[in-house]
Amino acid sequence: MNVQRGLKGVIATETSISEVDGSNGRLIYRGYEIRNIATGNSFEEIAHLLWFGELPSGEQFEKFKSTFASYRNLSPTMQKVLSVLPVEMDMISVVRTVISSAGDRSMSWKPTIEEAMKLTAVVPTIIAYRKRSLEGGKIISPRLDLTHVENYLYMLNGIEASAEQIRALETYMILTMEHGMNASTFSARVTASTESDLVSAVTSAIGTMKGPLHGGAPSEVIALLNELSEVEDKKNYLRDKIVAGEKLMGFGHRVYKTHDPRSLALKETLSGLVGKDRWLDLALEVESTAIDVLEELKPGRGLYTNVEFYAAAIMKAINMDSSLFTPTFTASRMVGWSAHVLEQAEDNVIFRPLSRYVGK
């Protein structure tokens, strides 16, 4: 019996949630090409699509949006847990711990969409409360009249964000909601397959997201952009880095062998900010130059920008601290994780792979 280390290439289940087509550079949510829905819909609409399997109608959407927003406040238990966590604890660990505290007796098998909504709605509040508390700022309560992403930025900064900032972050969060059977999603489904509750499943996923091989933030891309911002001859500078064996962060993807469709959608959304933000202008210049150099030095490799490249430009444009990158990724991926747990519960079989003994 062959051993597939890491279960690479092994099909472990069937899903109707999403398809990641790496060869053709396509990402599909419930039958919709991501580029066709990422820029013209809200976070709430795409969350509805992943949870319910369809985009909401007008009246249906207003009711859903109102219900979703009503779950933003922290429970007394969450507030208490958050208040006693040590200041040294990193943000993603804070999110994991506070979410875990929601696992009371009301959370049981089988999971529900209402539970998914509650857990997803509260993550931005956890992040914002923690950030402002560490900075000694005034804690800002959620505003139910704002959209999910608007409210997140408002709670972080204390002021309403611009329409361009909201649209940029919303597009990023839509594009990172779901991405097939990745490590954290698999972790969530394995936990759920034991008939554990939704809180346990997403807590497991958050723990997996913390690992740098999976949830690594685009901070290294920002380091590259910072480095190149002071360089006049970017082409030769990039060529020297590649010849020296250095990896260009933000280029290439394990799955996509052509353009990452998420980066294309982000680039399209951010095109309206050209000339208005120096980091975006720099990102566009670096992308074009780097792709030319990569094709010259590594022909046929198909090394294009991935979603982290333009995520870095977005984070710089909205002045988001690097410590919030992976937590923000987590805030969006809560939708995908919970959708997979709900799907797992529909026709559950416990995951029990084998191992080959090689000891004495």
According to DSSP, residue 24 is labeled T
What is the C-alpha to C-alpha distance for residues 53 and 13, in angstroms, rounded to an integer? Answer: 18
What is the C-alpha to C-alpha distance for residues 186 and 197, in angstroms, rounded to an integer? Answer: 15
296-303 contacts at long range (C-beta below 8 A, 24 or more positions apart): 296/239, 297/239, 297/242, 297/243, 298/242, 301/252, 302/257, 302/258, 303/248, 303/251, 303/252
What is the C-alpha to C-alpha distance for residues 305 and 210, in angstroms, rounded to an integer? Answer: 23
The residues annotated as belonging to the active site are 253, 308
> Do residues 51 and 116 make contact, with C-beta atoms less than 8 angstroms apart?
yes
> Do residues 221 and 315 make contact, with C-beta atoms less than 8 angstroms apart?
no
> Do residues 43 and 153 make contact, with C-beta atoms less than 8 angstroms apart?
no
